[in-house]
């Protein structure tokens, strides 16, 4: 049986997904479908009785004069996945630029103010999840403010996705998120190596990515880690899984920002749904798997239309159709299980 789409390789994920499976087997397609089904379980239904905000109020902490695209990509992705409100906390200079990209974002020009921590803290009771780091840069004043925002968010138990320069900060001060089990780190290859050196004291062991990701997660007190790459490897220190669905070979900037913004919404939904909806698996692992699958599906669909010209903006346009395809159809996406129990390829 030929498998045209990428398949999930899962280790210790659920009762049914408890081993590493070879790629391109019927079994791995079934595992992939099982993992996607868990994501579907946590997606809240759209209903007429719901009020604005219930599907998610997300905050993105990032952006600086050099990088205005990254926080925009993360914040707009959160909205397109289904959050109702998306805030960006950024610097004074970056704010009007980010506002000009989209009237849908609520943009606060506070991140380089002396009262940055208090300014953001005022909003924390109204936020369900934060993304910290896209386009933040490495200015010491900003990083110090973000440190205060992280501390305040942890005190309130807010789920935090840490990406990009937020990971730079964590590599300098791992104690900042040590043991905070509502944190998800989303390093790319270089960010992962930096974290591994800082936290484990040794560079990336490319031979066993599962083990490296698992070890980093354990050393950080079981914080969930998503190592992005040709395959995305996800672990909470106990379980580990990969997402290797077909994406694209375009490596344009902004794809990680799309992932972190999407993930923040899925994390909120998964925590709200609770472990009974995720079959006892960590809600954060399920959310991370969902965000990786979704990002790769967007890449695949955008690449089919735009080929080499594909950019992050093209991928963001695919978020709605990709989400429906993966999470809103009864048989799922390519490789889903047909009602007869046969694998549909
Ligand atoms: N339009 C924008 O505003 C964008 C801004 N971005 C921001 O740019 C800042 C720096 O992010 P970077 O990701 O560049 O991080 P780094 O500044 O740590 O740079 C990593 C470098 O490693 C290279 N690299 C990536 N993957 C590699 C691999 N597998 N092997 C070897 N080298 C590899 C990259 O080309 C990059 O030059 C962050 O704040 C980020 O959020 C990015 O998110 C991209 C889009
Ligand atoms: N070689 C690859 N093949 C297929 N997909 C990949 C590959 N490398 C990364 N991806 C996918 O691209 C997405 C973003 O990963 P990437 O490593 O580009 O993040 P990033 O460097 O943080 O991006 P950004 O430019 O937004 O900062 C992830 O969903 C990942 O699965
Ligand atoms: Mg990145």
Indicate which CATH number applies to the domain containing 307: 3.40.1190.20
Q: Give the number of other CB atoms < 10 A from CB of residue 189.
A: 13
Residue ranges in the chain whose pLDDT is less than 50: 1-26, 331-345
Hey, is 258 helix, strand or coil? helix
Q: Is the CB of 188 under 6 A from ligand 1?
A: yes
Helices (H), the chain: 26-42, 69-81, 94-101, 116-121, 140-155, 164-172, 189-200, 209-219, 255-273, 283-306, 312-317, 319-327
**For ion ligand 3, residues whose CB falls within 5 Å:** 164, 256
- Testing ligand 1's pocket by substitution, the residue of 164, 171, 172 carrying the most ligand atoms inside 8 A of its CB is 164
320 domain residue, yes or no: yes
Is residue 92 a known part of a binding site? no
Bridge partners of residue 120, in order along the sequence: none
CB-based contacts of 62: which residues, under 8 Å, 6+ apart? 70, 71, 74, 88, 89, 90, 131, 132, 133, 134, 135, 136, 164, 165, 166
* Structural domain boundaries enclosing 242: 32-42+53-327
CB-based contacts of 192: which residues, under 8 Å, 6+ apart? 204, 212, 213, 216, 225, 227
pLDDT score, position 153? 98
8 domain residue, yes or no: no
- Taking the CA of 165 as reference, the closest ligand is 1
DSSP string, 129-150: EEEE-TT----HHHHHHHHHHH
Q: Of the candidates 171, 165, 168, 239, which has an alpha carbon nearest to the alpha carbon of residue 201?
A: 171
Q: Is the CB of 136 under 6 A from ligand 1?
A: yes
Interface confidence (ipTM) of the complex: 0.97
Task: Give me ligand 3 centre to Cα 251, in Å.
Answer: 11
Q: Is the CB of 257 under 6 A from ligand 1?
A: yes
pLDDT score, position 204? 65
Of all atoms in ligand 2, which is nearest to the CA of residue 188? 17
2 domain residue, yes or no: no
Calpha distance 139→264 (Å, rounded): 24
Calpha distance 241→93 (Å, rounded): 40
| Contact indicator for 105, 138 with CB cutoff of 8 Å | no
Calpha distance 308→250 (Å, rounded): 7
Calpha distance 128→140 (Å, rounded): 27
CA distances from 233 to 18, 31, 142, 208, 241 (A): 15, 15, 30, 11, 6
Longest dimension (CA), the chain: 62
Closest protein CA for atom 40 of ligand 1: 135
| Contact indicator for 164, 70 with CB cutoff of 8 Å | yes
Task: Give me ligand 1 centre to Cα 47, in Å.
Answer: 39
pLDDT score, position 20? 36
Q: Give the number of other CB atoms < 10 A from CB of residue 160.
A: 25
CA 96 to chain centre: 26
pLDDT score, position 208? 85
Q: Is the CB of 113 under 6 A from ligand 1?
A: no
Q: Which residues line ligand 2 (CB under 6 A)?
A: 164, 188, 228-230, 232, 247, 251, 253-257, 259, 292, 295-296
Calpha distance 216→193 (Å, rounded): 10
pTM: 0.91
| Contact indicator for 78, 85 with CB cutoff of 8 Å | no
pLDDT score, position 214? 95
Estimate the share of the chain in helix, then strand, then coil, as percent rounded to the nearest 5: 45, 15, 40
Q: Is the CB of 66 under 6 A from ligand 1?
A: no
Q: Of the candidates 191, 237, 188, which has an alpha carbon nearest to the alpha carbon of residue 212?
A: 237
149 domain residue, yes or no: yes
pLDDT score, position 4? 29
Q: How many domains does the chain have?
A: 1
344 domain residue, yes or no: no
Length of the chain: 345
| Contact indicator for 138, 165 with CB cutoff of 8 Å | yes
21 domain residue, yes or no: no
pLDDT score, position 28? 61
pLDDT score, position 330? 53
Q: Is the CB of 190 under 6 A from ligand 1?
A: yes
């Amino acid at each position: 049986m030929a498998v045209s789409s990428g398949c999930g390789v899962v280790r210790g994920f659920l009762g049914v997904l408890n081993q590493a499976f070879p790629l391109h087997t019927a079994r791995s397609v079934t595992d992939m479908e099982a993992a996607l089904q868990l994501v579907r379980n946590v997606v809240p239904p759209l209903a007429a009785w719901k009020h604005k905000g219930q599907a998610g109020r997300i905050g993105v902490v990032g952006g600086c004069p050099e990088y205005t695209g990254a926080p925009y990509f993360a914040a707009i992705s959160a909205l397109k996945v289904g959050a109702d409100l998306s805030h960006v906390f950024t610097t004074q200079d970056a704010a009007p630029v980010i506002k000009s990209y989209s009237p849908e974002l609520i943009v606060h020009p506070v991140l380089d103010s002396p009262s940055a921590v208090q300014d953001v803290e005022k909003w924390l009771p109204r936020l369900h999840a934060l993304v910290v780091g896209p386009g933040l840069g490495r200015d010491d004043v900003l990083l110090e403010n973000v440190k205060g925002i992280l501390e305040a968010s942890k005190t309130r138990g807010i789920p935090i996705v840490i990406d990009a320069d937020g990971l730079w900060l964590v590599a300098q001060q791992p104690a900042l998120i040590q043991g905070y089990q509502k944190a998800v780190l989303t390093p790319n290859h270089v960010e992962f190596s930096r974290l591994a050196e800082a936290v484990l004291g040794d560079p990336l062991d490319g031979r066993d990515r599962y083990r490296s990701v698992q070890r980093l997660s354990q050393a950080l007190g079981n914080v969930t880690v998503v190592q992005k790459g040709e395959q995305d490897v996800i672990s909470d220190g106990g379980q580990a899984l990969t997402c290797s669905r077909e994406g694209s070979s375009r490596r344009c900037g902004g794809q990680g920002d799309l992932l972190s913004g999407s993930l923040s919404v899925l994390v909120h939904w998964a925590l709200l749904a609770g472990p009974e909806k995720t079959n006892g698996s960590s809600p954060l692992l399920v959310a991370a798997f969902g965000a990786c699958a979704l990002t790769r599906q967007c890449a695949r669909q955008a690449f089919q239309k735009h080929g080499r010209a594909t950019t992050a903006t093209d991928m963001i346009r695919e978020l709605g159709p990709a989400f429906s395809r993966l999470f809103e159809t009864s048989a799922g996406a390519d490789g889903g299980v047909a009602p007869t129990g046969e694998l549909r390829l």
